[in-house]
Amino acid sequence: MELNKLSLKMGVKSVKKLLVAFLLSLLTLGLASNGLEGETLRSLAEKLGIYVGFASINNFWVLADGSTYMEVAKREFNILTPENHMKWDSIHPERDRYDFSKAERHVKFALENGMVVHGHTLVWHNQLPPWLNKEWTKEELLQVLEEHIKTVVGYFKGKVKIWDVVNEAVSDAGRYRETIWYKVIGPEYIEKAFIWAREADPDATLIYNDYNIETINPKSNFVYQLVKELKEKGVPIDGVGFQMHIDINGINYESFRNNLKRFADLGLKLYITEMDVRIPKNATQEHLQKQAEIYAKIFEICLENPAVEAIQFWGFTDKYSWVPGFFTGYDHALIFDRDYNPKPAYFAIKQVLAKKLEEKLKGK
């Protein structure tokens, strides 16, 4: 039917209204999502052959909003790290008792939803059980560590594909951190940990993970030297995790790019393991916009480097972020707000992934 005949039938005014509504909806769709409304971070990541993921909060299966939490998680992500439930105090509460029950819930959820599990963490100085707090001889502690690593990695063999074997072993000044492991065993606890993890699951990817090593600085220089020497010695280390707990000031992007490159040149896989971008508690629209730019820029640089396998956030909804509890005056560090609405950062990341995909399809 021609437009003027239709107009006669419906009345010119209502046709005009319809047309305006139609045009407006096209415009909003275009502006809000640039035709990406059918896509999620997960769907784009999968087309790009990378992992985008999150740290899963304790006991998410019993939260009042657990079903929304799980809906969003499985829609948006293809890799999961249990935020706390694979740490020593949770999984090895007594000398002769392991408790895998909580960790298993995270693993089950991930595997049922086709996600990869990234285990966190086998050697760290925090969240240790009280029983470890005593005088150990070197031989005793080596034995304790070996048993722990082999038991945990062995238990999840074939299920946990990536392990943060050693976490935060270096101080901010760029020296070995004075942890129980370092003080009792000496620096060789690091290589031993990788060797034992490899023995327990030869197919798992084994990484060193730390914070404030994203750019070139004394700490990342020390880590670089450490992993370079491990590689040269033939210690089974496969990658490095950059935690990326950063704030509204962002980081030096050129330095980040160069840093990724030098680690990749050692033949290591790279991971962004715990990203969040904290902003002031009383955040404005500008803060949210700035945060979106930082997230987007980090994704852009990661996607330039083929060694980057995964980018993970430390949570996904601001409702369950560790940030307000740990950084006074800061909040809103993640990509979904407290009501699970995507924030500007979410849309900005999506645009970066989509643009990369377009380039990939064009063969650039």
E strand spans, the chain? 51-56, 79-82, 116-123, 160-167, 205-210, 239-242, 245-247, 269-280, 308-313, 330-331
Q: Give least dist CB 114 to ligand XIL, A.
A: 25
Q: How far is the CB of 314 from ligand XIL (least distance, A)?
A: 6
β-strand 330-331 against 308-313: which pairing, if any? unpaired
Helix (H, G, I), strand (E, B) or coil at 343: coil
Least separation in angstroms between residue 225's CB and ligand XIL is: 21
Closest CA to 312 of 148, 146, 120, 139: 120
Closest residue to ligand XIL: CB criterion: 322
Shortest distance in whole angstroms from residue 124 CB to ligand XIL: 7
**Given 243, 259, 312, 351, the residue binding ligand XIL (CB under 6 A):** 243
Distance from C-alpha of 44 to C-alpha of 65, rounded to nearest angstrom? 26
Shortest reach from residue 322's CB to ligand XIL, in Å: 3
Please, which residue, 83 or 300, has the CB nearer to ligand XIL? 83
- Pick the closer one to ligand XIL by CB: 109 or 347: 109
What is the set of active-site residues?
Answer: 168, 274
Helices and strands, counts by H and E, the chain: 14, 10
Q: Which residues contact 215 (CB under 8 A, 6 or more apart)?
A: 251, 252, 255, 256, 259
242: helix, strand or coil: strand
Q: Mask of contacts with ligand XIL, 261-300, x by CB under 6 A?
A: -------------x--------------------------
Which 3-state string (H, E, C) describes 94-144?
ECCECCCHHHHHHHHHHHHCCCEEEEEEEECCCCCCHHHCCCCCHHHHHHH
| Residue 85: CB atoms within 10 Å | 23
- What residues numbered 316-335 form the site for ligand XIL, per CB under 6 A? 322
Nearer to ligand XIL, 137 or 328 (CB): 328
Task: Give the Cα-Cα-Cα angle 341, 346, 351 (nearest 5 degrees).
Answer: 140
C-alpha distances (whole Å) from 102 to each of 16, 61, 68, 311 are 59, 10, 20, 24
* CA nearest neighbour of 207 among 309, 94, 63: 309
Residue among 52, 60, 69, 83 that touches ligand XIL (CB under 6 A) = 83
Q: Between 243 and 291, whose beta carbon lies closer to ligand XIL?
A: 243
Q: Which is closer to ligand XIL, CB of 208 or CB of 347?
A: 208
Tell the smallest beta-carbon distance from residue 284 to ligand XIL (Å).
Answer: 26
Quick one: 69 or 322, whose CB is closer to ligand XIL?
A: 322
Residue 313 interacts with ligand XIL (CB under 6 A): yes or no:
no
Helices (H), 34-97: 41-48, 66-76, 88-91
Q: Which residues, 127 to 186, sit near ligand XIL by CB under 6 A?
A: 167
Write down the least CB distance from residue 93 to ligand XIL, Å: 16
User: Is 225:181 a contact under the CB 8 Å cutoff?
Assistant: no
Which of 84, 205, 215, 259 is the binder for ligand XIL (CB under 6 A)?
84
What x/- string results for residues 206 through 225 when contact with ligand XIL is judged by CB under 6 A? --------------------
- Amino acid identity of residue 234, one-letter, is G
Number of residues that bind ligand XIL (CB under 6 A): 6
Residues forming the site for ligand XIL (CB under 6 A): 83-84, 167, 243, 274, 322
